[in-house]
Structure formats: structure tokens, C-alpha cells
Amino acid sequence: MYLPNLITVIRVLLVPVVVWLIIHGAHTAAFALFLLAGVSDAIDGFLARHFDWGTELGAYLDPLADKMLLVAIYVTLGLLGHMPAWLVIAVVSRDVLIVGAVILSWMLDRPVEMRPSKVSKANTVGQIILAGAVLAQLGFAPVLEALVTPLTWVVGILTLASAAVYLARWLRHMAYYDALGD
């Protein structure tokens, strides 16, 4: 019953390894571990749903593991000059905005459940594809540069749109509580 959570924990443990590989220029190995993380995410999700092995811990840990990996890759690639700083700042700021809004809601005793929107799901898929494309380009496929540049802009736009959707939802949620007189 805890196998999906174990797989997710292993994915979390892969984060510093992937960062280390990127820093040391082992981009092909970093790309391979990135793919392994993606496959493990699919496997743990399948196991949790198919065998009803989902847990409350897994519901929080799984998206956290995904975010940890993506943010770590974006920050590392950005610091090394392989990804534009503006995009790294946008991706990290969006995640900080969401986490900050949720924490503030809890602190004000107005808990909010942040469900992913369609634009947020598209953003996550775009971020994954871009991270994989940059790692693949660095590791063994320089021809992907023609794909990376337009994809960078698409991910930037999706990131900003997703942040706007989350912010609007959060503001509506907080206004609802204010309207109740709390």
C-alpha cells in the first residue's frame, strides 16, 4: 500500500543527483534521470489509482516531488546560463505565489484548496517538455535548439497565465470570506 509513496520519495531523492549531474556537465545522465523521474511519476500514479493505494501523504508528496524536480532543474539551468533568467524567475515566482497564498489562507483560518486549472496543467506539461528538451539539447541533441526557443516563450506565457488564474481564484476565495463578515 505504501509503494507509490516509496517511489515518490525516491523521486525526491533524485533531485539533488540531477542537479549535481547538470552542474558537472553530465547532461545525458541528467536527462536519463529526468526521464526516469517521469516514468516513476506515472508508475506511482497508476499504482495509487489502480490498486486504490493512494494516501493523504501521497496526495501532497507527489506534486511536491514534481515541483522540487522542475524548480531545481530550472534554477540550475538558469544559473548556468542554459535557460533565460526571466523564465526561471517567472517559474519560481509563480510557485512561491501559490504556496504563499495557501499558507496565508491557512494563517487567516480561511483555507483554500488550489485545484489545477487547464492552463496550469498545460503549463506543467510545457515546463516538463522544455526542461527535457534543454537537457536533451545539452546532452546529445543540439538540433533541438530550434524547438527550445519558441517553447521557452510558450512556457513563459503559460506560467504568467497560470499565475494569474491562481491569483484570481485566491482573491475570489478571500473576498467570499470577507463578504461573510469573518
- Architecture label for domain 3-179: Up-down Bundle (1.20)
Single out the residue of 46, 29, 19, 23 nearest to residue 8, CA to CA.
46
CA 112 – CA 82 distance, rounded (Å) = 36
pTM listed for this prediction = 0.92
Closest CA to 170 of 122, 106, 91, 78: 106
The pLDDT, as a whole number, for residue 11 is: 95
d(CA 138, CA 132): 10
Angle between helices 85-107 and 56-79 in degrees, nearest 10: 150
pLDDT, tens digit, 9 for 90 and up, residues 63-111? 899 999 999 999 999 999 999 999 999 999 999 999 999 999 999 999 9
For residue range 115-135, list pLDDT tens digits in order.
889 999 999 999 999 999 999
pLDDT per position as a tens digit, 97-108: 999 999 999 999
Give the model's confidence band at 21: pLDDT under 50 very low, under 70 low, under 90 confident, else very high: very high
